Chains A and B, each alone.
Chain A
Amino acid sequence: MSWQVHLPALLIAVPLLGAFLAPLTALGGKGLRNTWFVLVSLAFTLIAFLLWARVGAFGTAVYVMGGQSWNLALPSGMEVPVRILMEVDAFSAFMVLLSAVAALAGAIFSVTYMDRFSGLEKFVALYFLMVAGMFGMEITGDFFNFFVFLEISSVASFGLVAFWRDRGEALEAAFKYMLVSTLGALMVLVAVAFLYSKYNVVNMAALGKVIEWGMVEKTSLVLFLTALAMKCGAVPMHMWMPDAYAEAPAGVTCALIAVSQASLYGLFRVTYTIFGAFMGSPIIPWVIIVLGVLSMFIGVSMAVIQKEVGRLIAYHSVSQVGYMLLGFGVGLLALSDARAMADYGFTALKGGVYHIVNYTMYKGLLFLSAGALFYATGCRNLNDMGGLGRKMPKTMGLFMIAAAAIAGLPPFNGFVSKLFLYESSFAVHPVLAVFAMVTSVLTLASFVKIFQTAFLGPALKKFDNVREVPGAMLLGMSVLGVAILLLSLFPTWSVNHLVEPAAKALVDQASYIGAVFAATVPGGGL
């Protein structure tokens, strides 16, 4: 038996250990704390990569904590016992890998970016707690644990958003985020309680096997849908997002993007894996599509008129989440019709999955670039900036890569996922594709605005002493910049090895359910 069977447990244990030992590392000084920050981040990224590779090679991994054996999902005499069960299929592994890369980039960037501030042992501890919660959401096999991990990541995020507590705006943003997030988490708990009251199980695979389409299930689905859509910033429940993303330290925002993707993951796990084709109504797919179109268009419309870099990019997060909702909504609409699925549904799903990876990379890089501008100039407002391209050519280059990718300019990776989405949504209704394309044009317009006002134009006297940001920050940004370039230059590899396995796993409800029910005897399973 390979030690790699324990990767799911290690994925959560390593960042948790990182969090609990962070205050102790502070006793050894700044150097030890920073080394710990980067080493633990590298460790969980390596674990995420190994887990993704293992799931690709051996199929879905099931891991049981607190049971007789790590691979004994259903011991005799108890149909579905209460324990921590993790189930990692290709979609979960894909999400974990992306989240780990974003969190690593955020950590490397933060080492220098946060160096001017005190209380960084708390920062590191909260950062790792947030990462542990995020990973837990993406690999858990039961809904109650999903709620627990959601809360862990949310509570850690509140602290991180309010980290610059001398800024009233940061405290206000954290408070608003906490209010809506707690409300949403409460609704998730109520949804889990509804299902538990009827089926006496919280295990996702077990629920997927027995679930019916009645009043209890519909109510539960509505609560899951709106709570998780709110957590990932769907319009009109998005308003917390520009506040929180703009106020959090840039490295944190980079990881927060992955946290919001974990909520998106939860939403699609519920709709595809638990209900799937069994959902006897097109209303839910259309609700997701409408939320997607609203998010795309309203998000980008608000972004165009923003003057603060962080808020402008944050409104684009709302808009980009809209693309993903559109893709997954169209895929869900086609799920019960094999022909529609073959014609356009799976293409939409691939577009949605591909956009997740693209969005995580380029949006992370954009927030880090905004952080670099703030670090070098002390300014957040675009009106106060100008001519910085001469002073910060490397930051400008990395920003250009991310801006071109988010705007969907060929040959960057954003173009490929958008192409999938345009063509598949056109098959459902041309208006959907029109909204997606108009959003893309406005996205380009708003990033041209940042580029022109921050980097171009005449040199300003007040920035005479501005220099390029330190190497560690550039390294954090380069992790994501290189990922964007690789995704752009090798789109076929990306689709074949990253996107398609994840999309196939998402629609393969039987395989997800079967993986748990197959792991019933010691020595079985992965």
Chain B
Amino acid sequence: MWDQIQTGFGYWDVYAWIAFFLIAGGMVYLIRSFGRKDYKRDTEQDEIFFGSNPVPDDGEELKVPASSAYWGYTQALKPFYDVLVGFHTGLATDYAGWYILVTALVALLILL
């Protein structure tokens, strides 16, 4: 139950990892304890730095929407994504068509 898992190429020991996380957690806690002691909750020390501008009341004006996530990644791979999204037409006939095409292709590979 407590053994390592042998993969045939190496091994996996979950308890070594847990020990690592506990040690790392302890070190983080130790470093944190060296921090300033004069911090006070719910004072100006808690305020968000918003480019020296007043912080809007509604988080809606602050948040980064999901559509902006990985913008650079999707822009860099735009040609790939154009093809990929175009391939997902949403048409039921295409759904059936792809299935038939794959069946025909595998049949050709196996039967010929």
Contacts and interface: CB of A to CB of B under 8 A. Distances in A.
A179 B5 contact: no
Contacts of A385: 66
Instruction: Please indicate which of the listed interface residues B2, B12, B90, B111 has the most CB atoms of chain A within 10 Å of its own CB.
Output: B12
A230 B99 contact: yes
Q: Taking chain B's interface residues, is the majority helix, strand, or loop, or is none over half, making it mixed?
A: helix
A237 B8 CA distance: 34
Interface residues of A, number: 70
A51 B15 CA distance: 31
Contact of B64 (A184, A218, A453, A495): A453
Interface in A445-488: 445, 449-450, 452-453, 457-462, 488
A457 B63 contact: yes
B107 interface: yes
B111 A382 contact: no
B90 to A, nearest CB: 8
B9 A423 contact: yes
Contact of A386 (B59, B69, B73, B95): B59
B87 to A, nearest CB: 7
A45 B56 CA distance: 51
A305 B77 CA distance: 11
A493 B1 contact: yes
Interface in A198-231: 215, 218-219, 221-223, 225-227, 229-230
Contact of A219 (B8, B63, B101, B111): B111
A226 B8 contact: no
Contacts of B4: 492
B74 to A, nearest CB: 6
A225 B2 CA distance: 39
Interface string A402-415: 00000000110001
Nearest to B58: A461
Interface in A2-32: none
A423 B8 contact: yes
Given A302-B88, A449-B70, A492-B4, A411 B63 contact: no
A302 B111 contact: no
B31 interface: no
B66 A457 contact: no
Interface string B34-55: 0000000000000010000000
B92 A386 contact: no
B109 interface: yes
A229 B18 CA distance: 38
Nearest to A229: B102
Interface stretch (A110-118, A122-130, A147-155, A279-287): A279-287
B70 to A, nearest CB: 6
Contacts of B48: 458
Interface residues on B, range: 35 or more
A188 B106 CA distance: 15
Nearest to B18: A411
A343 interface: yes
A449 B69 contact: yes
B79 interface: no
A305 to B, nearest CB: 6
Contacts of A302: 84-85, 88
Interface string B72-112: 01100000110011011010101110111111001101110
A301 interface: yes
Contacts of B88: 239, 302
Given A416-B5, A445-B70, A453 B58 contact: no
Contacts of A521: none
Contacts of A381: 66
A240 B95 contact: yes
A109 interface: no
A168 interface: no
Contacts of B58: 460-461
B67 interface: yes
Instruction: Please indicate which of the listed interface residues B2, B80, B103 has the most CB atoms of chain A within 10 Å of its own CB.
Output: B103
Q: List the 10 closest A-B pairs by CB distance, nearest first.
A: A458-B59, A382-B66, A411-B17, A453-B66, A226-B103, A423-B9, A383-B65, A386-B63, A457-B63, A461-B58
Given A237-B98, A453-B63, 5 more contacts: A176-B92, A305-B74, A424-B8, A461-B57, A461-B58
